[in-house]
Amino acid sequence: MTNTLAIKTKGLTKQYGQTLAVNQLDLEIESGQFYGLLGPNGAGKSTTIHMLTTMTAATSGDAWIAGQKISDDPVAIRRTVGLVFQESALDRTMSIDENLQFAAAMYNLSPSEANQRIDELLSVFGLQDKRQRKLVSLSGGQRRAVDIARGVLHKPKVLFLDEPTIGLDLPNRRSIWRFVEQLRREEGMTVFLTTHYLEEAAACDHVDFFQQGQLQQGGKPQELTQQLASYILEVNTPNPENVSAQLTPIFGRPIREDEDLSFKISADDVDFQQLQHTLGDSISSMQWRKPNLNDIYLWTFCSPELGQTV
């Protein structure tokens, strides 16, 4: 049933010399989904995107975008997908208008179509009155917004966002996400996101954790966090060994980061007040909270069973 899927890959592999950047990747992403591929730097996320957008060829395996095999007709695939590169694709010496007109012409939009679409997108991003401004005079967040507008000029069915908020401050990151959400709602495009700001992926319909070119685990963010634990208990202590030895029999081994211990607690009925009382002076602080995607990341990639430290 490749037809209903926005993205499908089968054994997708990319090898650079001796290194396997992406190793036997199998994905199935339905139309209209907001999908997040999460993982550390160098995990192969960008390489995956570049293969799916025909910017680089797979070493082996196949992939389909909206039912079209990517190796059959790369030009048709590029018409179907939009890609916002991790690094800007814009010409800094030209104005917003010149950049977007140029990109629109590359997508074979007529000048009037292009004008209308640019108007539409710039008003979404609140940049209408800066249309004639040179790129150099814009802030990082505004430039990023123009980059995203460029990526969706041709109303792609599938939009790839490669670390879209990297290097941006919090307000700018928030507004970028508002725009993406609005575009998704209004145009119903499938969005494929990579990021390592994990809290941003919480809005995804599905996330997969990716490391060394392989999927580690995935699911709905909410389900994943529920499955991980009921609570995350964080303890700061001058004697991490002692506290760890004391609590490990009850909660299992913690993730240790210097004087910080992080336990995942599956039971729902832990009396934290009592625990705090028991630990008493041996700890400097403790807090318990619901798990989030950061915890999944840590417990997937740095779990004590793997013997890795944070």
Measured from the Cβ of residue 221, the count of other Cβ atoms closer than 10 Å reads: 22
Give the residue with the Cβ less far from other proteins, 108 or 116.
Answer: 108
**Does 244 participate in binding other proteins (rule CB under 8 A)?**
no
Q: Determine the interface stretch with other proteins among 48-56, 175-183, 214-222, 293-301 (rule: CB under 8 A).
A: 48-56
**Does 204 participate in binding other proteins (rule CB under 8 A)?**
no
Going across the sheet that includes 19-30, the strands are 19-30, 5-16, 60-65, 68-69
Query: What residues have CB less than 8 Å from 56, skipping those under 6 apart?
Result: 14, 47, 50
**Does 235 participate in binding other proteins (rule CB under 8 A)?**
no
Q: How far is the CB of 299 from other proteins (least distance, A)?
A: 25
Q: How far apart are CA 261 and CA 237, in angstroms?
A: 8
Q: Determine the interface stretch with other proteins among 98-106, 123-131, 219-227, 254-262 (rule: CB under 8 A).
A: 98-106
Q: Residue 187 in 3-state DSSP? A: helix
The residue within the footprint of other proteins, chosen from 2, 102, 292, 303 (CB under 8 A), is 102
Q: Residue 267 in 3-state DSSP? A: coil
- Nearest alpha-carbon partner for 29 in 55, 59, 70, 1: 1
Q: Determine the interface stretch with other proteins among 43-51, 173-181, 199-207, 276-284 (rule: CB under 8 A).
A: 43-51
Q: Provide the mask over 147-186, with x wherever binding to other proteins is found by CB under 8 A and - wherever it is not.
A: ---x---x-------x------------------------
CA dist 57 → 44, 52, 142, 150, 192 (Å): 14, 9, 32, 23, 19
The residue within the footprint of other proteins, chosen from 11, 105, 140, 290 (CB under 8 A), is 105
**Does 135 participate in binding other proteins (rule CB under 8 A)?**
no
Q: How far apart are CA 235 and CA 250, in angstroms?
A: 15
Residues 5/64, Cβ–Cβ less than 8 Å: yes
DSSP bridge partners of 20: 15
Give the residue with the Cβ less far from other proteins, 81 or 201.
Answer: 81
Give the residue with the Cβ less far from other proteins, 22 or 255.
Answer: 22
CA dist 22 → 14, 163, 227, 302, 304 (Å): 5, 18, 27, 20, 25
Q: How far is the CB of 89 from other proteins (least distance, A)?
A: 4
**Does 190 participate in binding other proteins (rule CB under 8 A)?**
no
- Contact residues toward other proteins (CB under 8 A) are 16, 21, 41-42, 44, 46-47, 50, 53, 55-57, 75-76, 78-79, 83, 85-94, 98, 101-103, 105-108, 110, 150, 154, 162
